[in-house]
Structure 1
Amino acid sequence: MKFRTENITPPPIVKLAEAAKKYAGSQDFIDLGQGLPGHIPPKPILSSLGEKLLHPVTHQYTPDQGHLELREELSLYLRRHSNYDVDPQAEVTVTAGGNNAFSGAVLTLLGPGENILVPEPFYFNQIMAIQLAGGTAKPVEVDEHFQPRTDSIRNAIDDKTKAVLLVSPNNPTGAVYQQKLVDEIVDICLENELFLLSDEAYARLVFEGSNHYSPRTRRDAEDHVIVLGSFSKDFGISGWRVGYIVGSPPFMKEFLKVQDTVTICAPTASQLLALEILKEGAEFVDDELMRLEKLRELAYIRAQEIDRFEIIRTKGTFYLFPRVKSCNDSRNLVIDMLDEIKVLTLPGRVFGPNGEGHIRISVGPLTPEAVDEAFDRMARYFS
């Protein structure tokens, strides 16, 4: 039997999770692999769902676009935190997570054999989505600070190019793209009649005086820019699967064909939780940002103590992406670290060939004590 998906890159997390299973129950095991934050919404927000679960409407579909009240609150939130306006009736759809938003956008845009330009290192799930749609992910280079190179983008454009993808703040590197650079890339897209897919799943997770800049703020580019967002990282509800997509009314009309076919709507109870988070002001995120700021600082200090790490300090997310000197096979390195010191990281190779020699370290859900212990073990291992 043949399957259409046989040539699509399998999810690397599955194999690594399988390898880590034998250690997962151990108190000695430290997971630096999965990209999770360390917080959940406050109890009053979670408790507010209790009564709503008794209402029959909570167990029914919502409109394909999602609850209108949620879209209205989301529009206000985006105006406050991302500095752009969006029409809740025609320009935003609630999705079952950020990946659902991205895969739906790709299915809406890509024809057979068309390509999307993707800065490398990249987020592997997005490559899978492009392949599933019958398209090609065409890698473009980044500079020594993991910022996309505009000359590489220009040189990669061909008659099959449909869009450019930006992920900022970035997974896996943590890079926050500079406003001037993003504007240059917007201009390239306008010149070449391309869409710009802006993945902003980590929009609030910026540090050290850095600011997230959304290309959607460019009023002249609203027909070209598609924003992909998520409640998973900023608000700590990854298991509830809530995301969103922002685009022009003509794009949204086409996107809803995919939405209705694939998911119909995001889970109703999840939408109600997202609504409560936004109505309560989501101030709890500020406390989490302070916690993560301290955790990142500790992790960078400890990483710089390991001679075999070459570390570029970036200003977003809870990821570190050090290059390990003399490492030619990051997969084998990660498995060996797991077996020797019971610390799980992700091999840089899964983020593209240019990620080889790196490992991704995620400190989001850890305590300072766990971060210290993890780096103590890595220091011994690499000595």
Structure 2
Amino acid sequence: MSQTRTRATFPPPVMEARRWLEGVDFTQDRPLINVSQAAPVDPPPLALRQAMAEFAVSEDSAHLYGPVLGNPELRAELAQQIGTHYGADLSQVQVAITSGCNQAFAATISAVTDEGDEVILPTPWYFNHKMWLDMAGVRSIALQTGDDLLPDPEAARALITDKTRAIALVTPNNPGGVEYPAELVRAFYDLAQEAGIRLLVDETYRDFDSRSGPPHDLFQQPGWDETLVHLYSFSKSYRLTGHRVGAIATSPNLLAEIEKFLDTVAICPGQMGQFAALWGMQNLSQWVAGERDEILDRRAAIQDMLPDLAEKGWKLLGLGAYFAYFEHPFDLPSDELAKRMVAETGILLLPGTMFMPQDDPAGKRQVRIAFANLDRKGLRQLFDRLTDATF
């Protein structure tokens, strides 16, 4: 059987993990605690769903094609809100809407790379970024991080070759949860600008950042759009995961190249999701602020509960947004541990091996917990089970 682009990469990790549930019975006394996927399990707030229903019934445009780069009203609103959030001036022509943030990444990579080119990814990496690079014939160059999970710009500098086309960062990080300091993000921007490559900054979880004010000053730099490609998602902030709405902010020239990819793959983003994103930005700022407060409270709860787990040898490496990233204490690899935990503890989480190169032993000692769907009671149950676990 010949090697193909899809055979060059691994199966979707979340779907693989779900298969571990087959044949396992969970009791009422010990139901499954699923911390494998970073997606809200609740639907959008009722007011948004009602607005979407009215839009679907009353507007013929809800069911038709739209502009490839997204509806002008949504692009303009997002440009204005990015500008407000980051203290900068953006134009609608610097913003495009995509069918989810994964598509935003895929479209950008297709526009800035050729087969055999290289993109630098800090590890642990977001597995869908690695998967797309594999399928695009682009080499993923692993930038190892230390126990703080923060990438080093000077270490990245040493990895740049004449094939390097981009560095891709995720902050707040998936899977690590860490929030990259503003000066660190700026250092990577300066490095990318100096090297003549693109800096991709995926801020899918920016609305759950614990810091107030702009998380970095990249949008304030002259000619920022010639270096920065900013990626964003509406999925988490407005619970629109099933509607697939993401966004890109960068130069109009690069968006013209990205448009070719988008037109070929999806023609245009869905009208229902775009309407929901626009309505949400215009009407749900206070609701989103409440969602952020709830996530930050759950993050604080993890800090409160951490000492009991630490006594059992667990080490917290990163915490933020939707994620807690741990080094586990057991004498078995994390991929084996994660499978056994389903039946033996009733917990479904993802092993660090899904976020690391195969030859990096650190992944065998790490696990990711996506905690956003657990309240304090649920987190207490999770930590009690982890504390009691023996392997």
Superposition TM-score tier, normalisation by shorter sequence: over 0.9
Q: Which residue of 2 aligns with 1:241?
A: 244
The 3 A distance-change label for structure 1 pair 29 and 132 is: same
Distance in 2, matches of 1:202 and 1:267, equals: 22
Partner of 1:355: 363
1:150 shift after superposition: 1.4
Deviates more, 1:250-259 or 1:373-382: 373-382
Deviations 1:309-336 (A, max 9, x none): 011354x312110101244410110111
**Matched position secondary structure for 1:304:** helix
Is the CA contact 1:33–1:360 (under 8 Å) kept in the aligned structure 2?
A: yes
Q: Within 2, Cα distance between the matches of 1:129 and 1:198? A: 16
Partner of 2:257: 254
Q: CA deviation at 1:301?
A: 2.6
Deviates more, 1:200-209 or 1:91-100: 200-209
Q: Is the 8 Å Cα contact of residues 341 and 347 (structure 2) preserved in structure 1?
A: yes
Please give the residue correspondences for 1:147-226 in structure 2 after superposition, counting only pairs within 5 Å. Answer: 147-207=150-210, 212-213=215-216, 215-226=218-229
Supply the AA of the counterpart residue of 1:227.
H
CA distance in 2, matches of 1:13, 1:100: 18
Moved more, 365-374 or 1-10: 1-10
Contact 2:79/2:94 (8 A) holds in 1: no
CA distance in 2, matches of 1:57, 1:25: 45
Count of aligned residue pairs for this structure pair: 381
Does 1:317 pair with 2:318? no
Q: Return the match for 1:366 from 359, 365, 374.
A: 374
| Cα distance, 1:38 vs structure 2 | 6.0
Q: Deviations over 1:228-269 (max 9, x none)?
A: 110112222111110001110110111100010011111111
Q: Measure, in 2, the Cα distance between the counterparts of 1:26 and 1:85.
A: 55
Q: 1:159 to 1:328 in 2, by over 3 A?
A: farther
Where do 4+ consecutive residues of structure 1 move more than 6 Å?
A: none
Pick aligned residue for 2:281 from 278, 283, 289: 278
SS of the residue 1:207 aligns to: coil
Structure 1 residues 349 and 367: alpha-carbon distance in aligned structure 2, compared to 1, 3 A threshold: same
Structure 1 residue 308 corresponds to structure 2 residue 313? yes
Q: Which runs of 5+ in 1 are unaligned?
A: none
Change in 2 beyond 3 A, CA 1:204/1:4: closer
Using the TM superposition, give the Cα deviation of residue 299 of structure 1 relative to its aligned residue in structure 2, in angstroms.
Answer: 1.9
Aligned-pair Cα RMSD in Å = 1.9
Which of 1, 19, 34 pairs up with 1:31?
34
What is the CA deviation profile of residues 66-124 of structure 1, one whole-angstrom value per residue up to 9, with x for unaligned ones?
11111111112112223333211x21111010001001111111111000011111000
| Structure 1 counterpart of 2:7 | 6
Which residue number in structure 1 is paired with residue 106 of structure 2?
103
Tell me the alpha carbon deviations over residues 327-358 of structure 1, each in whole angstroms, 9 at most, x when there is no partner. 44101101111110111111011000343311
Q: Is the 8 A contact 2:186 2:217 kept in 1?
A: no
Give the AA of the match of 2:382. Answer: A
Q: Counterpart of 1:170 in 2: which secondary structure? A: coil
SS in 1 for 2:372: coil
Secondary structure, counterpart of 1:361 in structure 2: strand
- Which range moves more in the overlay, 59-68 or 230-239? 230-239
Asked if 1 retains the 8 angstrom alpha-carbon contact of 2:176 and 2:318, the reply is: no
Aligned residue for 1:377? 385
Closer/same/farther in 2, CA of residues 279 and 118 from structure 1, 3 Å limit: same
One-letter code aligned to 1:146: L
User: Residue 348 of structure 1 aligns to which amino acid in structure 2?
Assistant: G
Question: Which residue is 1:69 aligned to?
Answer: 73
Identity rate of aligned residues, in percent? 28
The answer as to whether partners of 1:161 and 1:194 remain within 8 angstroms in 2 is yes
- Secondary structure of the corresponding residue to residue 54 of structure 2: helix
Offset at 1:362?
1.2
CA contact (8 A) 1:120 1:141 kept: yes
Q: 1:275 to 1:295 in 2, by over 3 A?
A: same
Q: Give the SS at the match of 1:234.
A: coil
> Relative to structure 2, which stretch is displaced further, 276-285 or 167-176?
276-285
**What are the Cα deviations for residues 121-146 of structure 1, in whole angstroms up to 9, with x where unaligned?**
10000001111111011011223311
Contact residue 166 and residue 199 of structure 2 kept, 8 A:
yes
Q: TM-score w.r.t. structure 1 length? A: 0.94
Kept in 1, the 8 Å contact 2:85–2:214? The answer is no
For residues 219 and 40 of structure 1, what CA distance do their matches in structure 2 show? Answer: 40
Q: TM-score, normalised by structure 2?
A: 0.92
What's the offset of the Cα at 1:8? 1.8
Tell me: CA distance 1:116–1:154, structure 2 relative to 1, closer, same or farther (3 Å).
Answer: same
